Amino acid sequence: MDTRLLRAFITLAETENYHEASLRLFITQPALTKQIKQLEKQLNLTLFERGRHGAKLTTKGQLLLPKATQLLTQTTGFLSYASELSEQLPQSLSVGFGISTFHEASFFVAQLRQQLEKINISLDDMPSSEMEKKLNLCQLDIAFIRRSNQQLPSNLISKALTSEVLALAVATKEIKNHTIADYLTQNPLLFLRKERGPGLNEQINRLLNQMNISVKPAQEANDIQTLIALVAAGVGISLVPYSARLISREDVTFIPINNIPEAMWHIDVIWLASLPQEWQKLIPKLIQETQQHFAKDRENE
């Protein structure tokens, strides 16, 4: 089984959107469509129901998804172990990132691809808790992850990347001479689903507790883009990572919360100490280039 087809199937099942899935896989939408059709032909099954709203798994597709995920994990692990035995460089490299590091992780991977042209590099969005689990199981090679207070295991290497703060996302037309507390108590608050961003959810709750504000979500969404679209439509306001401002929308204003410690967190890049030595030397260099690139962007804001 071609692992490219499995990865295409799993990614499209997760995103339910050909455009987003193709971006994650760093391929074009026609190429993704071709891979899905090729897999369906091999299996003699229809895996997705296609419509204006994207792609939904069929019943048989839902039944196959856990098996496909298990097979991809086993195959990737097998190939990685075989590469170690043959003393050759691995043929693939997996990178995970969280909600607030999409742009940094994408830039990093773009530079990494230039250095490792023959290596299949995947970039996947997942919560920090899932990245920690996959790092410990050696199912993830590099992670852009929220810093933990726990001591790092000896099989992992870490380097600080950046810090992030929460920001209040408000429809630009609704901007008033209000304090953060005024906005939070006088407007419906929109949340990212807890299972989609548990770290972000905890950060927001710590901030609200510190401010002695008790609110219930007026509405929840599965991704930051949807949250921001809802804010722009005037449905409510939201607390999101300040980096969400890089999603270009003039109809939403982002107000960083810089003066409350509970609104800030640190982000590290963590990678497996078992990666080839030449990669071990390359990763810190690319992290530094990523930091410099986004430092220039912040200066130009």
Cite the residue boundaries of each domain of the chain with CATH code 1.10.10.10: 3-83
Is pTM beyond 0.85? Reply is: no
d(CA 254, CA 235): 16
User: Has domain 90-162+265-299 been given CATH number 3.40.190.10?
Assistant: yes
244 pLDDT band (50/70/90 cuts)? confident
Could you confirm whether domain 164-264 is CATH 3.30.2130.10?
Answer: no
Tens of pLDDT along 249-287? 789 999 999 989 999 999 999 999 989 888 999 999 999
The domain made up of 3-83 is a member of CATH 1.10.10.10:
yes
Among residues 220, 237, 121, the alpha carbon closest in space to that of 169 is found at 237
Token reading at 149: 């207070």
pLDDT single digits (tens) 1-56: 688 899 999 999 999 988 888 888 888 889 999 999 999 999 999 999 987 767 99
Instruction: Find all residues with CB under 8 Å of 258, minimum gap 6, and list them.
Output: 165, 264
- pLDDT at position 300: 53
Higher pLDDT: 139 or 300? It is 139
Cβ–Cβ < 8 Å for 137, 177:
no
Specify the domain boundaries for CATH 3.40.190.10 within the chain.
Answer: 90-162+265-299, 164-264
Cα→Cα distances 290→82, 90, 200, 287, 299, Å = 32, 24, 23, 5, 14
* Sequence-ordered alpha helix ranges (H) in the chain: 3-15, 18-25, 29-43, 59-85, 102-115, 128-136, 180-186, 198-210, 224-232, 277-299
CA distance 204 to 202: 5
Give the residue-averaged pLDDT of 238-247. Answer: 88
pLDDT > 90: percent of the chain: 56
Q: Give 73-112 pLDDT, tens digit per residue.
A: 888 778 777 766 655 667 899 999 987 888 899 999 999 9
Query: From CA 125, how far away is CA 120, in angstroms rounded?
Result: 17
